[in-house]
């Protein structure tokens, strides 16, 4: 597909055209020319209102349904949703049935998604069936194409298992994802432990449950070496712990979920299970520290933590409902209400080298892999904006600023309807 993107403002600090409005000529998936007013000469043109283009965005934590839960989401539709939401790459959590824990499981995911515009990067389960008891076939999955290993939203209770995993993956430069939550302290908690949980009569989860596990995991990392990624942190103390670990030279990275940057536990007043997520929504004081940690670089990347769930799993009493919200469609518009554009682009792209693949700059001769968006439009997120099969969004009714047009990636142009 040969195209010219007309009058596009490039947002890429590594490009000599950063913040300039230019035309971008793409031929056979390669950026051939960047200049003012390139003549079409038989090329199709892409002209969109207030078009901005950045490096392709990457979401480091996406769950879909297939295999096993196609009623929640299929690979094909999920990748299409990601593309129309501006994501050229996603890391897929091992939440299917069967769980991705063998070489064949990773191969299936890559083969099934090979023709999509959004590239799928599988995360393999760290332990068999994500039960935390026995290490899965990590080396074989790495050879098949797994970019990291972790048990989605499950802490490894057995410190010995995590220790062995951190040591083992160093032989092939593997990345261990260590979700942080002490299950004994969490107990039967379902929301943040605080004023709101007391007022609503819901069992609380203290930030200590997250922080204590982070302390243990960082001690293990210091002992073993290797690479650890701590996903979706949610407390001020967690930020401080990770900042100190980085200062000591530990190879640790972390992410935060968009909903923990935007929403607080005050939205729980009506017991709406769309807001039941893990880690839970915290008070505004914690939210503000997370935003500061994004700005100062302690938090390396931002994720939607997209987790489609059908109505039978969410339309229940609050205690019984499953944790999770979809977030791809609302990701960019929600973030621009609290963060500057260039910071969002940085946090949506910085995770690529951490997960082991290339972050393409927007320069002549480079492979064309970029996101198209309008950062200025204002709108309200509604059910009509949801393209996922599941509708469990915590952002319904939220004011948005900016909207993704789509992506150009793997030689394909995918635009929003």
Catalytic residues: 305
The answer for residues whose C-beta is within 8 angstroms of residue 244's C-beta and 6 or more apart is none
192 beta partners? 205
**What is the rounded CA–CA span in Å between residue 146 and residue 124?**
6
| Rounded-to-10 torsion of CA 316, 320, 324, 326 | -10
Q: Are 125 and 99 in contact (CB under 8 A)?
A: yes
Quote the strand ranges of 335-398, DSSP E.
Answer: 370-380
**The tokens 């055209």 sit on which residue?**
17
Task: Select from 286, 292, 226 the least CA-distant residue to 253.
Answer: 226
User: Exposure string (b/e) for 264-273, b if CB count within 10 Å is 16 or more?
Assistant: bbebbeeeeb
**56 within 8 A of 348, measured Cβ to Cβ:** no
Helix (H, G, I), strand (E, B) or coil at 263: coil
Give the C-alpha separation, 249 to 169, whole Å. Answer: 19
171/159 Cα distance (integer angstroms)? 20
Contact 257, 277 (CB under 8 A): yes
């Amino acid at each position: 597909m040969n195209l010219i993107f007309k009058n596009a403002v490039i947002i890429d600090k590594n490009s000599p055209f950063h913040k300039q409005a230019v035309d971008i000529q793409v031929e056979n998936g390669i950026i051939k020319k960047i200049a003012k007013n390139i003549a079409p000469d038989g090329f199709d043109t892409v002209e969109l209102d207030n078009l901005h283009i950045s490096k392709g965005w990457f979401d480091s934590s996406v769950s879909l349904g297939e295999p096993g839960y196609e009623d929640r989401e299929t690979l094909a539709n999920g990748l299409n949703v990601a593309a129309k939401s501006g994501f050229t790459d996603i890391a897929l959590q091992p939440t299917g049935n069967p769980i991705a824990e063998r070489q064949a499981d990773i191969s299936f995911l890559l083969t099934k998604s090979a023709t999509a515009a959004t590239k799928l990067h599988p995360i393999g389960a760290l332990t068999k069936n994500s039960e935390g008891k026995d290490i899965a076939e990590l080396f074989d999955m790495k050879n098949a194409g797994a970019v990291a290993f972790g048990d989605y939203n499950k802490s490894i209770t057995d410190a010995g298992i995590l220790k062995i995993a951190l040591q083992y993956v160093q032989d092939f430069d593997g990345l261990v994802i260590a979700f942080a939550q002490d299950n004994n302290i969490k107990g039967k908690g379902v929301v943040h432990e605080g004023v709101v949980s007391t007022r609503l009569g819901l069992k609380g989860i203290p930030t200590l449950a997250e922080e204590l596990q982070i302390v243990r995991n960082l001690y293990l990392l210091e002992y073993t070496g290797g690479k650890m990624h701590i996903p979706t942190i949610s407390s001020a103390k967690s930020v401080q712990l990770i900042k100190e670990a980085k200062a000591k030279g530990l190879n640790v990275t972390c992410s935060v979920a968009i909903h923990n940057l935007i929403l607080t536990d005050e939205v729980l007043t009506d017991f709406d299970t769309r807001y039941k997520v893990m880690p839970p929504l915290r008070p505004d004081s914690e939210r503000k520290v997370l935003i500061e940690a994004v700005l100062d670089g302690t938090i390396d990347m931002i994720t939607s933590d997209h987790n489609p769930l059908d109505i039978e799993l969410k339309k229940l009493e609050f205690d019984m409902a499953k944790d999770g919200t979809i977030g791809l469609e609302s990701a960019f518009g929600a973030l621009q209400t609290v963060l500057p554009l260039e910071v969002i682009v940085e946090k949506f792209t910085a995770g690529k080298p951490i997960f082991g693949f290339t972050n393409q700059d927007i320069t002549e001769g480079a492979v064309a892999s970029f996101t198209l968006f309008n950062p200025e439009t204002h709108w309200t997120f509604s059910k009509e904006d949801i393209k996922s099969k599941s509708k469990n969004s915590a952002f319904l009714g939220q004011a948005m600023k900016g909207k993704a047009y789509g992506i150009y990636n793997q030689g394909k142009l995918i635009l929003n309807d």
